[in-house]
Amino acid sequence: MRAVVQRVLSAEVRVDGKITGSIGRGLLVYVGVENFDVQPDLDYIASKVTGLRVFEDNDGKMNLNVREAGGALLLVSQFTLHGDCRKGRRPSFDKAEAPQRAGVLYNELVRTLRETIETAEGEFQAQMEVESINDGPITILLDSRKLF
């Protein structure tokens, strides 16, 4: 499982012109489910996202996680995080999990995160418009298989 995590001042997702999820200060998290991902992959991403110390403390040091900073999460499903562009010009998405299984794992990740922090989301498999105001900007890449 992969995630691109961006610290934001605000973010929202729209589907067919309607807002499906929005947050103020917090983390915008794009999530891609890979073939053969299992519960430990999901747990790794959930733990990392909620534990990342990317918010400033009173001394101006990035020392607080999203909960400690009073922020929220906005999750957006994005299979293209598993696009492989090493050959040719068209990305291969062979490593992205099939939609039915990916949806189950994505929804489980949302459920898991909602147990501990305010979590909004986009709509799985929908054409979405994502609008955000990045803060920093700070962008972190996560991979449950620790490829980077």
Q: Which residues are catalytic?
A: 78-80
Q: What is d(CA 121, CA 30) in angstroms, rounded to the nearest whole number?
A: 10
E strands within the chain? Answer: 2-15, 18-23, 26-32, 55-56, 62-64, 72-77, 119-121, 129-143
Distances from the Cα of 143 to the Cα of 21, 57, 112, 125, angstroms: 24, 26, 18, 21
Please list the alpha-helical segments (H only) found in 31-98: 39-51
* Amino acid at site 130: V
